Amino acid sequence: MKKYITRDSMEKWMNRSEKDGMGARTRNTYRAAIIAFCNWCVETDRMAANPLSRLCAADEHADKRKQRRALTEEELNRLFTAARLRPLAESWPQVNCFVRYRKERSQVVAQKSHCFLKN
């Protein structure tokens, strides 16, 4: 039994996935992947046309899974405190190396530009 990619089969899958609780953004991600695959099939002469080219996307605005909100003042204070107190021992060698490189580079550039200004 051969299976074909059709607009009807993809619409049925989108509806079934919605009923199963899959989010709109996730369905749209899968939709974009299969449409891209079909476009590749058309470009490489494996399909005559993309049957999904006009497949409608799920409405992500109507299907909000998480309500975004601003952090409270207490949450911000806790975040800043955690960031300030976080041990940075593992990253200090890289930071110091980068800072040293930037200082040395800026000194070399300053010396070169000074030489150019004299001449």
pLDDT tens digits for 19-39? Answer: 999 999 999 999 999 999 999
55: in domain = yes
10: in domain = yes
79: in domain = no
Q: How many domains does the chain have?
A: 2
pLDDT of residue 72: 92
Is residue 2 domain-shared with residue 51, that is, in the same domain? Answer: yes
77: in domain = no
Is residue 4 domain-shared with residue 49, that is, in the same domain? Answer: yes
Tokens in use for 102? 């930037």
84: in domain = no
pLDDT of residue 45: 95
Is residue 3 domain-shared with residue 48, that is, in the same domain? Answer: yes
Given a contact cutoff of 8 angstroms between Cβ atoms, the answer to whether 66 and 30 are in contact is no
Contacts of residue 34, Cβ cutoff 8 Å, sequence gap at least 6? 5, 10, 52
pLDDT above 50 for 116: no
68: in domain = no
Is the pTM higher than 0.75? no
* Residue 70 per-residue DSSP state: P
| Domain range for 15 | 1-60
d(CA 65, CA 45): 40
User: Percentage helix, strand, coil, to 5, in the chain?
Assistant: 60, 0, 40
Is residue 95 domain-shared with residue 50, that is, in the same domain? Answer: no
65: in domain = no
119: in domain = yes
Is residue 7 domain-shared with residue 53, that is, in the same domain? Answer: yes
